[in-house]
Amino acid sequence: PGIAFGLDAPYSVEYHDRIASTNERARDLAGQGATDIAVIADEQTGSRGRLDREWVAPSGGVWLSVLTRPDVPTARAPLFTLAAAVATTDAAREAGVGAHIKWPNDVLVGGGDGESAGRGGRKLAGILTEMEGEADRVDWLVVGPGVNANIDPDTLPEGATSLSAECGTPVDRRRFAATLLERFAELTGSPEGLDRILPAWRERSSTIGRRVRVDTANGSVEGTAVDIAGPGALVVETREGRQRVHAGDCEHLRD
């Protein structure tokens, strides 16, 4: 598996020049009983973002979905999304782009302390995870990172960037995808790997230590992000004390 793609990870690769959505395809494969497959496309015509949002995926991207059947309880599934964010960040850094992670799983460039915007930077990649299972066991898990690789940022939504724009030259997408998948497999393929995900995520996060506002289904939480806990909740120090936020849109505020 994966030999033709030159991959040192336990996935077979299914490549498409154009497809509606790699997540959709991986879900179909899950329905057929398959596992350990990475679906990769150059272009998507019906891609899906988080919270049912549209995701623009023209030719030149690394649109990718990994189907696995990990032997973990459903409550640990968010760890796999964090692992994909770590893997994407590492692949970007290997390509020479200084990426970091905004909670929960946006991969950004710039916007750090030295820059005036201070609001989190330009979005390079996002991740959509879908799964099915019972509380005690995941049946299948599809983790789908979408990376703006060799794309003119003028064709992307405002605030987005691409690897080629940051590097000033196109990147080797095959190598990028291989690094991402190898790193993802390393982190998710064993209990020891799973234990390394939260520390690796903390190290690469630009959210921890920042003032944030998180818009959740139950209103906004504002304060200082102090940690990531459990399978992926953001711990925010607010005026009323510490709160754990499990899901929502996070904005980095000016310090």
Interaction site with ligand BTN (CB under 6 A): 21-23, 44, 47-50, 53, 55, 57, 63-65, 126-128, 144, 146
Nearer to ligand BTN, 200 or 250 (CB): 250
* ∠ CA 108-111-117, rounded to 5°: 135
- Minimum distance from CB of 237 to ligand BTN (Å)? 26
- Minimum distance from CB of 222 to ligand BTN (Å)? 22
- Minimum distance from CB of 155 to ligand BTN (Å)? 15
- Minimum distance from CB of 84 to ligand BTN (Å)? 10
Nearer to ligand BTN, 64 or 97 (CB): 64
Residue number of the CB closest to ligand BTN reads: 126
Nearer to ligand BTN, 179 or 223 (CB): 179
Nearer to ligand BTN, 50 or 202 (CB): 50
